[in-house]
Chains A and B, each alone.
Chain A
Amino acid sequence: MSEHILSAHDLDVNEGQIPREDWFEASTTLQNLRKNKRFPTIWCSGCGIGVVMGSLIRAIESLGLENDQVALVAGIGCTARMPVYMDYNTLHTTHGRALAFATGLKIARPGMKVITIMGDGDALAIGGNHFIHAARRNIGITALVVNNSIYGMTGGQYSPTTPLDMRATTAPYGNVEPPFPICDLAAAAGATYVARSTVYHVLELDKFLAQAISNEGFSLVEAVSYCHTTFGRINKLGAAADMMRALKENSISKSAYDRLSGGERESNTKIVRGVLHTKDRPEYTKVYDTLVDRVHAEAIKPRNAGGN
């Protein structure tokens, strides 16, 4: 932190990093942050993950949920540092296993709103197995996948969502592997709510997150973000503000995409924003409860209590 800011406001270093409690009263978003944490956050200057954090707080607040009704589960990575700063029930788990821990939590506490916060590598590479199986079971978890196309925290290795021909530190001549379409994968695996938005269209993201949390089954929200520190630097895409402007220019809403002709859809390279898939399917914990009830009802009849 700059010395001139501290001296101008008569603060010592400790006060600048762990702010006083009354500073959080400026907005309702700030009141849902953990007040004993060191601020600013650990993310790079201008990183979109902070925008998604504000969006998630506003979405939970718009549903009128108590802080104790919500559980945030995260794995490892830049994105997975998000619950550390938020004042809900939080669980910081092993790499890629956020959905596995969340499945256990949801079965133990079916009334709780369980939200898993994962990066693209966390959700699709290390935890890809858990991702498709959580979608297949249709368990009532909201999966928020922040897609920044790269492994940011470990130094810019290419991830399962790095676009073709883009460079990364482990793909210095361009990536040759086609990326995973996250939303199509979740829809095909059986998710009942799939939506995608970007960090530029953050008010739309608030709306989708609120819909996803109130959806009963497995819901996926892909928040397209950017990594200007590694991905942007290697591919010469500019600073944080430039990459955010690129998200605005390179995205198209679902309604506009539906109006395109077949040929234009084939050649479309823009990010499609909107609710991409919804479906009605029974939710896993409900199905499991009916199974338990049925088995209990059968068990009352003693099978070996005597011939009569």
Chain B
Amino acid sequence: MTEVSSAIKPTPATTVRKGPRGEVRIFATWCKGCHICVEFCPTNVLAMHPNGNHPIVAAAEKCTACHFCDTHCPDLAISVKKIE
């Protein structure tokens, strides 16, 4: 259950977006690589690791704290914290 730092650098935010933001943590040792979080993320925050079988946070600033990934993760390997 170790956090994986993002391999892709976050794209610079051009405009300040309204609404809640989220902070995603991925615990890669619990992940079995089922792709559910990556396929369903509505804002494409997550992407698969280029060499591994687990997701990474590719665009952290896009997360809107919708809690889809952490409620639908079958291995409870993602936690999302709402930040202001």
Contact B53 A50 (CB under 8 A): no
In the complex the two chains form, what is the Cα distance from A27 to B65 in whole Å? 14
User: How far apart are A24's CB and chain B's nearest CB, in angstroms?
Assistant: 8
Contact B79 A45 (CB under 8 A): no
A89, CB-defined interface residue at 8 Å: no
In the complex the two chains form, what is the Cα distance from A69 to B46 in whole Å? 38
In the complex the two chains form, what is the Cα distance from A94 to B72 in whole Å? 30
Q: Enumerate chain B residues within 8 angstroms of A4, measured Cβ to Cβ.
A: 51-52
Contact A23 B74 (CB under 8 A): no
Contact A244 B1 (CB under 8 A): no
In the complex the two chains form, what is the Cα distance from A237 to B71 in whole Å? 23
Instruction: State which of A2, A29, A51, A202 has its C-beta within 8 Å of the C-beta of B53.
Output: A2
User: How far apart are A158's CB and chain B's nearest CB, in angstroms?
Assistant: 24
In the complex the two chains form, what is the Cα distance from A17 to B25 in whole Å? 18
B8, CB-defined interface residue at 8 Å: no
Q: Enumerate chain B residues within 8 angstroms of A8, measured Cβ to Cβ.
A: 4
B35, CB-defined interface residue at 8 Å: yes
In the complex the two chains form, what is the Cα distance from A16 to B27 in whole Å? 10
Contact B34 A11 (CB under 8 A): no
Contact A33 B39 (CB under 8 A): no
A282, CB-defined interface residue at 8 Å: no
In the complex the two chains form, what is the Cα distance from A4 to B50 in whole Å? 12
Contact B76 A50 (CB under 8 A): yes
How large, as a class, is the contact surface on chain A? Answer: 35 or more
Q: Enumerate chain A residues within 8 angstroms of B51, measured Cβ to Cβ.
A: 4
Please provide the chain A residues from 204 to 247 with a CB less than 8 Å away from any CB of chain B in the complex. Answer: 239-241, 244-245
What 3 pairs between A and B have smallest CB-CB spacing? Answer: A46-B34, A50-B74, A45-B32
Which residues in B have some Cβ–Cβ distance to A below 8 Å?
1-2, 4, 25, 27-36, 39-40, 51-54, 70-77, 79, 81
Which residues in A have some Cβ–Cβ distance to B below 8 Å?
1-2, 4-6, 8-9, 11, 16-17, 19, 23, 26-27, 29-30, 33, 39-41, 43-51, 53-55, 58, 199-200, 202-203, 239-241, 244-245
Q: Would you list 24 pairs from A and B whose C-beta atoms are within 8 A, ordered by A residue?
A: A4-B51, A5-B2, A9-B2, A19-B29, A23-B27, A26-B1, A26-B27, A27-B79, A27-B81, A29-B76, A29-B79, A30-B79, A39-B30, A40-B30, A40-B75, A45-B32, A51-B73, A53-B76, A54-B73, A54-B76, A58-B71, A203-B71, A239-B34, A239-B35
List 16 other contacts, CB 8 Å, given A39-B29, A54-B76, A240-B34: A9-B2, A11-B29, A16-B29, A30-B76, A30-B79, A41-B75, A45-B33, A45-B74, A46-B74, A49-B74, A200-B72, A240-B74, A241-B35, A241-B36, A244-B36, A245-B39
